[in-house]
Chain A
Amino acid sequence: MTGAGAALKRWETLMFVLLVAIIALNSLDSRYFLSIGNFVNLFQLSIEKSIVALTMTLVIIGGEIDLSVASVMGLAACVAAWTFQHGAPMPLAVLLALAAGIVAGLNNAFWIAYVGLPSLAVTLAGLIGYRGVARIFLEDRAIGGFPEWFNQLGQQPIIGPLTASIVIFFILFVFFAVILHSSALGRMIYAIGSNVQAARYSGVRVGLIKTDLFVASAFVAALAGVLYAARLGSVRGDMAEGFELDIITAVLLGGVSIFGGKGNLAGVGLAILVILNLRNGMGLANITGNTQNYVIGGLLVFSVLAPNVWQDVRNTWRGREI
């Protein structure tokens, strides 16, 4: 029996059923719920987190974690705002922000892939350090007054009702799904997450692939940070603070194993939709944010427990048979 695979499939089915149920309940609750406009708004509200969750999925499947993403988002936004304020044209400011993301990613990768430190510690240091740099750039000010085209990037629909951020999310979703599920690189990410030692003994260039993961993670985070700045129209030093936990929550809720090697992007996509609709529905039903957090937290515990409990039950049962 392919126990783990079956359990995962069950988890995704469960998520899907949950999603349908939430949408059904919500639409009973409020007749505005099923409108396209509401869906787009809903998606738009935390589109930056959804974008970063894509690369976080790859990182966690690779058996690592990146806690520094929210700080990289903030750093990139601050770099863009600061260079813009100091006279750089906006396109250059955006490029510099993305470059800052790549530098942050290379820094993470160096300590993790080549020095061999645990990613939990390295990216925790990144979480603190990159935020610190962002605050040095902006101190307590808020910078705004970006060019019109930049603000529209985050607010104006470009394809039908979809904004640029949402379009970018879909493009990246397909891109990373192809990487993860149809490319050699994706197979190696799973291999490293399953057993890094065996991957190394099979000739996988572990250091290189970890570098790829952390650079991709920070680059996409920087991109998300820029998009966030465009949507808000102004940048502050504490931008996106605490986002990393929401992002990791979505990934784990999507059935990705925190121990690496298991999970897929479809599950994470479903989880993002579940969280959005759940929060939106609860909001429409006048349930407070604290209660919403409580529900999401419960769901997360359940998502991590469910496959393990299932496995334990099976093992106990087998043990009894022997």
Chain B
Amino acid sequence: MLTKRIIPCLDIKDGHTVKGINFLELRSVGDPVEMAEAYSGQGADELVFLDISATIEGRKAFSELVERIALHINIPFTVGGGISTVEDAAVLLRAGADKVSVNSAAVRNPSLISDIASRFGAQCVVVAVDARNVDGVWRVTTHGGSRLSDKELFSWAKQAEALGAGEILFTSMDHDGTCGGYACAEYRKLSDILGIPVIASGGAGNAGHIVDVLSPEGGNADAALAASIFHYGDVRIPDLKRQLAACGIPVRQVPGSTTAG
């Protein structure tokens, strides 16, 4: 049976992780490759690396990092942050990333999705959508949630699918950072209207929130992405997977994955 995926997300600046993991004994807290290996060993199903560098040097360091990650880890990973052209995507895919995620640039220029999909395949295009509820309408935002666009979440997700998106990664800006749970009703609707996988992001505060967003009666998302709760050790992936399995949600158990850090 196809399993639901658990995806830790790492923010990278100038080739280093912004937040260290504080529950694993790492030689170098800021080394993304070591963090990636640690998560992979714990049973993470995929990883996401978001480049938040603001400089050209930082971006170059990121693509070099992608090469190192690809050499060292043996599970799929997605990279994103600031991809605005097909060439940006090509550099990262050639460096060894399995998928790229596009966000603001696709809102501005939707054909970016079809351009990347037609050249590298739909399976490697993740369309990330940040949206917030404004007077009952889920408005798509850009630039990390700071700007409202004229697009609406559900119609934009459908359009992205039609353009060749392989997956939709929706972050509710109303839930992100609250640790109060995911926007389950919205994931459920996305899952109903789309024929491609939906990744939930934003709001995880405990393992129960992840159970809710993945369960068929809840958000019915195909995958759950989270950052802080994994980095700070509030939720450990082997424990989370045991809890999901106990709730009847199919997950991949990794034999020998360690619980303690």
Decide whether A and B assemble into one complex: no
**Which A residues lie at the B interface, using CB under 8 A?**
none
**Which B residues lie at the A interface, using CB under 8 A?**
none
